[in-house]
Amino acid sequence: MAQLIDGKRISQEIKDELKVEVQKLKEQGKEICLAVVQVGSDPASTVYVRNKKKACAYVGIESRAYELPEETTEEELVNLIKELNQDETVNGILVQLPLPGQIDEDKIIRTISPDKDVDGFHPVSVGRLWIGEKGFLSCTPAGIIQLLKRSGIGIEGKNCVIVGRSNIVGKPMAALILRENGTVTVTHSRTKDLAAVTSQADILIAAIGKARFVTAEYVKEGAVVIDVGMNRDDQNRLCGDVDFESVEPKVSAITPVPGGVGPMTIAMLMDNCVETVRC
């Protein structure tokens, strides 16, 4: 039977470690404050924002909520972010995506000061990641590295295949695997004979956004499979990009959905918040 990589347990472990670190920082007079900006009331965004605030409270980080109406203009949001950039009591700024259509997300990401970019989406953070400089790491891929390490799965020298090349998962994932001395292949919708490529992977990371897309024929016997997907199936049940039932018997370790990668993203966001005050 495959090892079940337990994101719930590992994310809790990280939050507990951060809680201790935050307490020590407080004793040195270092307080951490995260500004959480939400525009509109998309129900999924509301849930994400609520969970982020809850995690802040647990770890001991102040979260300051900015709830703006759906019709907020780009200029208004830019002005708020510029204020938060200047505000010395704010360490990190998080703008919950997606934003309403009238606002250019890319412009907003670039307006956040790279020193407060706790999502790690600013081009400066992305550049730092690729050249191996210290900086804010994109939360989901950073969480996946922690999942592997804390489950005793080595990355060095492994053949790692990523399905998906988005700016928030696939690309930063590739950079982080390189940092860990893995060998990386990034695949996407134009990849020819995808199953032939993925079935070479020692570690396969699926970030596609298609329910149960990766079936047993895509994976090598004994591989480690990380499922980033968060999809709804025909019956509106939450499911990943991996067909767990068919893949699990063939592999050595696998993440479940829910309870795998999902909880790690918030834990790593908390880590980035703490990073703002680490010396």
Query: What residue ranges bind ligand NDP (CB under 6 A)?
Result: 140, 163-166, 168-170, 187-191, 194, 207-210, 228-231, 261-262, 265
Cβ closest to ligand NDP, residue 265 vs residue 272: 265
Which residue is catalytic, options 6, 15, 38, 52?
52
241 is catalytic: no
Closest CA to 170 of 239, 94, 104, 241: 241
Cα angle, residue 30 at apex, residues 27 and 36 outer, rounded to 5°: 130
By beta carbon distance, the residue nearest ligand NDP is 166
Which residue is catalytic, options 15, 38, 96, 202?
96
What is the closest distance, in whole angstroms, from the C-beta atom of residue 140 to ligand NDP in the complex? 4
Cβ closest to ligand NDP, residue 3 vs residue 189: 189
What is the closest distance, in whole angstroms, from the C-beta atom of residue 228 to ligand NDP in the complex? 4
102 is catalytic: no
8 is catalytic: no
Strand 231-232 and strand 238-239: the pairing is antiparallel
What is the closest distance, in whole angstroms, from the C-beta atom of residue 26 to ligand NDP in the complex? 28
Residues assigned a catalytic role? 52, 96, 119
